[in-house]
Amino acid sequence: MFEGFTTTCVDTGEARIFVRIRGRGEPVVLLHGHPRTSATWHRVAPLLVARGFTVICPDLRGYGRSTGPHPTADHSAHSKRAVANDVLTVARAFGHTRFHLAGHDRGSYVALRLALDHPEAVDRLALMDCLPISEHLRRADAVFATRWWHWFFFAQPGIPERVIGADPAAWYAPKADPRTMGEENHAELMAAVRKPDVVRAMLEDYRAGLSVDRADEEADRAQGRKVEPSTLVLWSTLDDLEELYGDPVAIWRDWAVDVRGHGIVSAHHMAEEAAPEVASALADFFSGATALSVRR
């Protein structure tokens, strides 16, 4: 995986973030979802480099090979705002004060928070397989609770750590087929989920989502804040986002000044299952942005 990429760690003060990077063009930061690591981008990232971008793939705080602070009672140590600040620090560590940003699944919530809090840093924003957390919860019904039950299970104190910790490989195996995601990507994921600290951090991500992150989003809406950078929304047509909510772009229009989007024929982990289509959609969208100052 990631032939020609450099790996390093960036100390953000609260966290130590593992990063993969390669390229000499406009910077693109790719944020993975749960329970993946930056390795989920192993098929997309080289295609973006080939299109002339510098690609930066961090493991989110506490995920994979990144470390973070101990959980806090209010879950703010793993809030999307805290993780977004990590990402901003990582980009600046490589000399980029402005960059394109894409997030998938949980990473999309981080990307949303970064774009809301630091619009000056994000040139163009791509959000994949997501709605704002508060929009999910506002629409939550029995169907949502049945299909997305893990949100509420992960939020319970202590119980999911014990359940998952009993056999983490078996817990994550049903949605981690090495033939689909790639052998090395699969091996990296399995190594990560066998670490109790990683599992705890991933659960804190969800606990923050239902508490401090939801409150932050509701405050944004009350203040009339919207995403200022041009936004692309992508979703997996073989997953259930469109089935549950109809056209996701229609919902995102309440959150972004300039938004467009379309489905990708794929199951949920689209970067692994439909890499050429994802890379093409991202590259075409990001190429339409104003040229950035590039560190060479």
Residue ranges per structural domain of the chain:
6-287
Report pLDDT digits (tens) over 152-170: 999 999 999 999 999 999 9
Mean per-residue pLDDT over the chain, rounded: 95
Q: Is 28 exposed, middle or buried (0-12, 13-18, 19+ CB in 10 A)?
A: buried
Report pLDDT digits (tens) over 15-59: 999 999 999 999 999 999 999 999 999 999 999 999 999 999 999
Q: Which residues pair with 11 in a beta bridge?
A: 16
Catalytic residues: 105, 268
In 3D space, the residue among 96, 45, 55, 30 whose CA is nearest the CA of residue 294 turns out to be 96
pLDDT recorded at residue 260:
97
As a whole number of angstroms, the distance between CA 264 and CA 278 comes to 7
Mean pLDDT on 245-260: 97
pTM for this predicted structure: 0.95
pLDDT recorded at residue 22:
98
Residue 291 has pLDDT above 80, yes or no: no
Q: CATH for 6-287, among 2.60.40.1170, 3.40.50.1820, 3.60.20.10, 3.40.50.720?
A: 3.40.50.1820
pLDDT recorded at residue 295:
31
